Structure 1
């Protein structure tokens, strides 16, 4: 059975049991606790946490997931994967244990001819929580499982929670006995290779505090409504039903390995070392494609760093298989063909995905070249010192700073007859991992302080947003907080958080900053400083009481700062138009990667496969402003997500959309899913002026623009500047470029002439410097500080000239240039001096110490720099001692 069919059977089974089919969420949901979505229930967390009511009582989905905690283990075994698919069914206060067990058993054991998976019931085992005999009884009652195939386990294995305070509960896992050839008898508690877990049923019934029941902490009590959260491993079911030994041999993964075999000429299954590389390629290629498809781009932080690491591990593995040419786009195409039947967006967006992978591969190949040179230098130093081991700190620096994989370091070291201090390297890697875990633990406070907001939400419901049509409205205070704790009132001069039953204030989201304004009541004046969505559906106003008091249940008039709101709306509408124009110029690969809409100014980030042309950006600006002249109406409407996509609406990466979405139309030019505020007609923007563009990361470009009167002020300022320059240069403004270019050219020529004269003057001192040579045990030493302002090249030229004037005698020249904070120096030796063993590259080190610096170079000339000009005298004396020592 093909994997796509396994997914579809799961969804159809639960749809036939009155579950709503919910599409997979993006891998990069906005969750403070997660780098990537790592479980099927993540998109339903707000419902389980009680932050918002569930729109359905039953749901089913197949969620794409990425887990990155064991990246280094991927490939070494067949059990570790970064990308996987988790099929799940969910009940929000509807059916509970018996319903979940019955529906799971039906799907697992029902014949394939009737739409099930057709697993042999006699090979099914289950585990239950040691304090949950009810579930064991239900497996016997509903499924007819004999007691000897139901095993009890402790909380470490069979209790589930989110890792933070909130819902949790016992779970029951379904295992399939693969047969005696895979391990020992005795069920899952004895051997989890033979008895493979395929499905976990979580019975969410408890509320837990900060300490997890897994660690011996008691639960706080029962949830008011009991929920079901299950997760079936699609890939695991696939390799069982396809009669292969592991996920790497299934229909969605094996084709990538086949492509790697073709490129390398090697065969999977011949030796473990190559098999590890084949599996890394197959796993990471899938993960990379799926992450890029959801908007992640390679970078040096957070998600971007993980993606970069995955892609570079592919390149490393390919190289270790003997392939040195670029291959990532080819692997991406194989993944596309395998995965697009379930995820058609990969096919639609493949051009961009392929471009990102190609660019990252090109970057890394250049990094490998640099890393190889750094390694060669380190290896040469080690051998010169007589060492046979390359230090762990050097291997770690190659890995951490230059992105050079440890596997290649080990391989190249072996080629040079060296070992690597792997223990030292692993120790440094572990320190880095612990720092990362500490950072992750710090982030895991995302739900810790939300209980008061949830309490308001549960009691009063969601905040009704009026701001699409009204900027002033009557409202009632339903909650007040100060310092995170509820208070009955706020008095004059106090700051706090205020929650209204309805509000015209826009809460920051979707790149649009929050509204500000005032609240008025009986004798009260309250300034609204910020508005945020503390939990979904609840707008929390940060306020300062200007006059009077404000208390819970007070009726107020809310008034948004209209001028500021309209300025923000113009920026947001401009962002949509710029997005459309950029996509028109660069195609679908130019996808929005972030935005910021503030009063009069917008920022738009987009993915770009290469450099962004200034000419194209100029055309984008002209196109947008030409379209403004049409003054088309901006319309908004709510429709189904599928219908919106049929109409050509664009969705943004990482955003979570419900089944009903809000669409913003600006004629046929721009159509996007958006919850922000906009102008009524595009002519209200007046003018959009692009003021800067820059690269902010690998494949991500940023445009900043001014809108409306802010744009007009910018243009006027530029006009004034041009006028002043024209008056200064006494030419018409249209001749300024030529005039300025001419002046700059003459200035450069003058600077070159000044530099030539300076060098001539400096070189003219060569004779007197040579005459100042002192004899140090048979070696002529010229050591002095040059008072002229000379650069490094001029200083080298002077040393060379002085050295040549010393003739055939042994001679050493050391010249210094210093200012108040730093010193530069060059040391040169004559051939006769080198015959006596005086090497400039060695002498420069004795010079560097006294000036708190260092240097290096060749035998005839070396240079360096330091930060202690006061040490020049000591440096010259140190050089004299070196010469006497050499003579001795």
Structure 2
């Protein structure tokens, strides 16, 4: 097979690694399915058809396997329900395939193609051309006259409008006749090679048979050219940095921006992204010539042109070369030199599926405007932190963060000292109830974490059996923390049960831990009432010992 498909030999290690990773993913999927099946089998005597379908559709379990596993445990499978789910899925697939109005439009497109032939595309060399209106579709049918305001799809014998294909968006512009003007908002291949100009009649009327002047939006086309040539250079750089396996899997080429999908088995590291962007812009600044060659498919392959899996090519193909480093099959529009792309800035990278990544980038003026916004933001940040030179912002920010860290440490030390002093003061106010010390006190405004530390600080300053409860308010809410000595716990005293007496006053609840419990609620204004209830409950329990 290698003799006929040399790419299999060249990519042997990559393919094997890919297969191993897919096997591992599928194994994990099966394990997840087994867990679902085990859970369902433990909780019912009949496995539902919906569950059997989910195992089949999501986890790859054949229904025979599911039935066999269930039978081993004496459980039946609702096969009738499973078949209903399968039929529902088939219906969804059939409905999606039928296409409704799309199928009717396809018939009209085929009729236009058979009657008039393919569109003569002049858009590689020209941005305006004269032609004739062959047919007009409106509301899904032919029309002999389209008046102002009507949405139409116009077919010309020749055009400069590029129809969306190969990831490149369709052109926009105007079509003008002696009697009217159509503003074209998009151009698509109704069928391959037949250009449909979709837009609105904005003046007068248009009709089949009229002579027309078709003019594209030239600045928009130029921005698209920049993005398309930039896409080819990006593809080269990805393969150069990541490896030859990083081949194109899809793209979107728009004015000023591009999206590029490629095969790769892991996230692209930041240093790799930086290297890719560097290599791209080095090639752009070098201003390499961009050449277009129309040749046979066999000769193009001998030139080393990259063809993409899933794309269909005729015997005569168009090849775009950027310098001596990028050669690809391509039917899109391009700049004459790489320097005309302007800067290309990578703005994002992420996963879109198994072993599939996506990068997005800006080109030309969009890239410059992005850099200008970044610079402006950096200058504004520099002004806030008193760094007059934007390049000094990281250094200045690092110094501020170090200073802030030191201040936070000082603040923590002050808080700890204050908490310690407050704990000492509260501990001195402990009341004696029998042999035990009882502390029930308010700490004022304090967050729950600090309140917990305060309770432990009071505990550490008491001797003998004790119960400590402290409360605080924080952002309008109330918080309670209680602790009880081990010897009192052994005699049935629980910090959690004591707090339960006051938690309702705060409009909340708490934990039931006998040693260290916390409680709280939204009604911080009722903290004193909550502490009074706790003081009464704790006194009652300690008096009963």
Same fold per superposition (TM over 0.5): yes
Residue among 804, 817, 831 paired with 2:486: 831
> What's the Cα RMSD here?
5.5
Partner-residue secondary structure (3-state), 2:154? strand
Counterpart Cα distance in 2 of 1:849 and 1:444: 61
Secondary structure of the residue that 1:444 maps to in structure 2?
helix
Aligned residue for 1:548, secondary structure, equals strand
8 A Cα contact 1:450 1:535, kept in partner = no
Q: CA deviation at 1:860?
A: 5.2
Contact 2:467/2:482 (8 A) holds in 1: no
The one of 733, 737, 754 equivalent to 2:394 is 737
Provide the residue aligned with 2:345 in structure 1.
689
Post-superposition shift, 1:818?
6.0
Deviations 1:259-313 (A, max 9, x none): xxxxxxxxxxxxxxxxxxxxxxxxxxxxxxxxxxxxxxxxxxxxxxxxxxxxxxx
The change in CA–CA distance for 1:673 and 1:842 in structure 2 (over 3 A counts) is farther
Residues in 1 aligned to 2:146 and 2:423: alpha-carbon distance in whole angstroms: 81
1:506 is displaced (CA, Å) by: 1.5
- Is 1:451–2:107 an aligned residue pair? no
1:482 paired to 2:138? yes
Residues 469-548 of structure 1 mapped to structure 2, 5 A cutoff: 469-548=125-204
Q: Which residue of 1 aligns with 2:117?
A: 461
Give TM-score scaled by structure 1 length. 0.48
Aligned to 1:617: 273
Q: Does 1:663 align with 2:316?
A: no
Gaps of 5+ in 2: none
Q: State the 1:627 CA deviation.
A: 2.0
Is 1:746 the counterpart of 2:399 in the alignment? no
Q: Which residues in structure 2 correspond to 1:29-428 (within 5 Å)?
A: 344-357=6-19, 389=42
- Which residue is 1:597 aligned to? 253
State the secondary structure of the residue aligned to 1:590. Answer: coil
Alignment partner, residue 14 of structure 1: none
The CA deviation string for residues 616-657 of structure 1, in whole angstroms up to 9 with x for no partner, is 332322322222344333222334444433322222344333
Distance (Å, rounded) in 1 between the aligned partners of 2:426 and 2:279: 67
Q: Which residue number in structure 1 is paired with residue 233 of structure 2? A: 577
Q: Say whether the 8 Å CA contact 2:478–2:523 is kept in structure 1.
A: no
Give the Cα separation in 1 of the matches to 2:420 and 2:85. Answer: 53
Counterpart CA distance in 1 for 2:298 and 2:503 is 70
Distance 1:696 1:849, change over 3 A: farther
User: Structure 1 765/366 Cα, relative in aligned 2: closer, same or farther at 3 Å?
Assistant: farther
Structure 1 residue 785: Cα displacement: 9.5
Q: Which moved more, 1:714-723 or 1:419-428?
A: 419-428
Taking the aligned partners of 2:519 and 2:74, their CA distance within structure 1 comes to 31
1:419-440 CA-partner distances (Å, limit 9, x unpaired): 9997799999999878866754
* Aligned-residue offset at 1:675: 1.9
| Structure 1 residue 673, shift from structure 2 partner | 1.7
Of 552-561 and 574-583, more deviation after overlay is shown by 552-561
The size of the alignment, in residue pairs, is 515
CA distance in 1, matches of 2:314, 2:442: 77
Query: Is residue 379–residue 390 contact of structure 2 (8 Å, CA) maintained in 1?
Result: yes
Measure the CA separation in 1 of the matches of 2:129 and 2:492: 90
In the TM superposition, residue 615 of structure 1 has moved relative to its aligned partner by 2.8
Do the aligned residues in 2 keep the contact of 1:351 with 1:589 (CA within 8 Å)?
A: no
- How far did residue 774 of structure 1 move? 12
State whether residues 471 and 478 of structure 2, in contact with CA within 8 Å, keep that contact through their aligned partners in structure 1: no
Post-superposition offset of 1:526:
1.1
* Distance (Å, rounded) in 1 between the aligned partners of 2:440 and 2:73: 44
**Aligned to 2:102, what secondary structure does the other structure show?**
coil
Q: Structure 1, unaligned stretches of length 5 or more?
A: 1-338, 383-387
Question: Does structure 1 retain, via aligned residues, the 8 Å contact 2:431–2:437?
Answer: no
Change (3 A) 1:424 1:521: same
Task: Select 2:303's aligned residue among 647, 657, 662.
Answer: 647
Match of 1:117 in 2: none
Give the Å deviation of 1:447.
Answer: 6.1
Distance 2:471 2:227 in 1: 59
Normalization by structure 2: what TM-score?
Answer: 0.73
CA distance in 2, matches of 1:861, 1:405: 49
**1:678 to partner: Cα distance:** 0.8
Question: What corresponds to 1:179 in structure 2?
Answer: none
d(CA) in 1 for partners of 2:256, 2:195: 24
Is the partner of 1:715 in helix, strand or coil?
A: helix
Moved more, 752-761 or 641-650: 752-761
Query: 1:470-529 CA deviation, whole Å, 9 max, x = no partner?
Result: 221123333333333333332212223333333221222222122111111113111111
Match of 1:674 in 2: 330
Mapped partners of 1:657, 1:854: distance in 2: 71
Cα shift readout 1:404-456 (whole Å, capped 9, x = no counterpart): 9999xx9xxx9xxxx99977999999998788667545533436523234324
- In structure 1, how many angstroms separate the alpha carbons of the residues matched to 2:249 and 2:158? 32
Contact 2:443–2:451 (8 Å) recurs in 1 = no
Shift in Å at residue 344 of structure 1? 4.9
Tell me, yes or no, if the aligned pair for 2:455 and 2:468 is still in contact at 8 Å.
no
